[in-house]
Amino acid sequence: MSQKHGIALIGFGRMARISHFRHILCHPKLDLKYVVEKDTAMASNFVKQYRDDIVVVPPSDLQTVLEDKSVDATFICTPTDAHEEYIKASLNAGKAVFCEKPLTTDEASTQTCYAEAKKKGLLLFCGFNRRFDPSINSLHRRIQEGEIEQIKNIRTIVRDKTLQPKEYLKTSGGIFADSVVHEFDLAGWFIGGLPSVVYAQGHAWFEEVRELDDVDQALVVMKYPSGAIVTIDACREAKYGVDHRMEIHGSNGVCLQQEGGYPTSVVSLGDNGELRENRYADYYALWKDSFEAQVEHFVDALEGTIL
């Protein structure tokens, strides 16, 4: 298909501005037509720096956007608690959907959204970007090719540098649905299927997190029917920077993903010991290749070149 796919970007906060907006604009097969955002002044000012033909509208104008036949797909980047409504409205209007993770915050509504997409024969893609990270992708390929044979255990560490604002935490669904969900997705992707036993512990070190009845430090242990055991160590704030590490131990060796998180690979050795630059301060810097690659994958899926 040589024609471009018309896109409406819904929700124009941090994620949309630092990631999806630029990847959509740069993609030769995508044409950003609308931005739907509560704060239209903020969105218009930002969008105008790049293009003056993108129409910025408030949520009350959603139907006009969805009735526009030149829009083929929506990118939903609103707070998580608004995803379901926009997914259903988009599917009802015959549009394919790219939705930021998590699709919704509970299993029943997530299943309903996928069932609706299936019934309508439309693409519903959830933005689990980490699958598209070059290192994680390589780990997955190696496991699939049998390099370490049977997975016996997976250990992951996932830490953000800075606690998200309370406004974000409130609508996020909590640390498990919002943050650990990436690791749940990866564990299932590597091992296949669902765990048969799940155990979790957590603690709220921050007052604002405690007030939301959430936790900011968590440990999850999951056992899969194959016997594989997964442990996830997740933390909303780590002073030293964004950190993601993964170790997969199999019956014939171990695969490690351990050196992500630094802007360069330069190390200096001297009287002060081993010095390197500070780790990345934000998740986008760590995962930017994966954000771009997942948009590429979405376009391939839109065009039917992959399943």
Ligand X SMILES: NC(=O)c1ccc[n+]([C@@H]2O[C@H](COP(=O)([O-])OP(=O)(O)OC[C@H]3O[C@@H](n4cnc5c(N)ncnc54)[C@H](O)[C@@H]3O)[C@@H](O)[C@H]2O)c1
Q: Considering the complex, state which of residue 72 and residue 84 has its C-beta at the smaller distance from ligand X.
A: 84
CB of 105 to ligand X, least distance (A): 10
Rank residues 217 and 294 by Cβ distance to ligand X and give the closer one. 294
Residue window 25-64: x/- pattern of binding to ligand X, with contact defined by CB under 6 A: -----------xxxx-------------------x-----
Angle between helices 134-144 and 283-302 (to 10 degrees): 60
Q: Does 178 bind ligand X (CB under 6 A)?
A: yes
- Report the site for ligand X in 120-139 (rule: CB under 6 A): 127, 129
- Which residue in 74, 80, 105, 217 binds ligand X (CB under 6 A)? 80
Is position 109 an interface residue for ligand X (rule: CB under 6 A)?
A: no
Binding segment (CB under 6 A) for ligand X, from list 78-86, 90-98, 193-201, 249-257: 78-86
* Residue 82 sits in the site that holds ligand X (CB under 6 A): yes
User: Residues 142-177, buried b or exposed e (16+ Cβ, 10 A)?
Assistant: ebeeeebeebeebebbbbbbebbeeeebbebbbbbb
Q: Is 6 in the site for ligand X (CB under 6 A)?
A: no
> Is position 296 an interface residue for ligand X (rule: CB under 6 A)?
no
Q: How far is the CB of 74 from ligand X (least distance, A)?
A: 11
Rounded least distance, CB 128 to ligand X, Å: 7
Indicate which single residue of 8, 9, 10, 65 sits in contact with ligand X (rule: CB under 6 A).
10
Contact window for ligand X (CB under 6 A) among 4-12, 46-54, 227-235, 252-260:
4-12
* Shortest distance in whole angstroms from residue 150 CB to ligand X: 30
CB of 59 to ligand X, least distance (A): 4
Shortest distance in whole angstroms from residue 255 CB to ligand X: 22
Q: Which residues contact ligand X by CB under 6 A?
A: 10-16, 36-39, 59, 77-80, 82, 100-101, 127, 129, 168, 178, 283
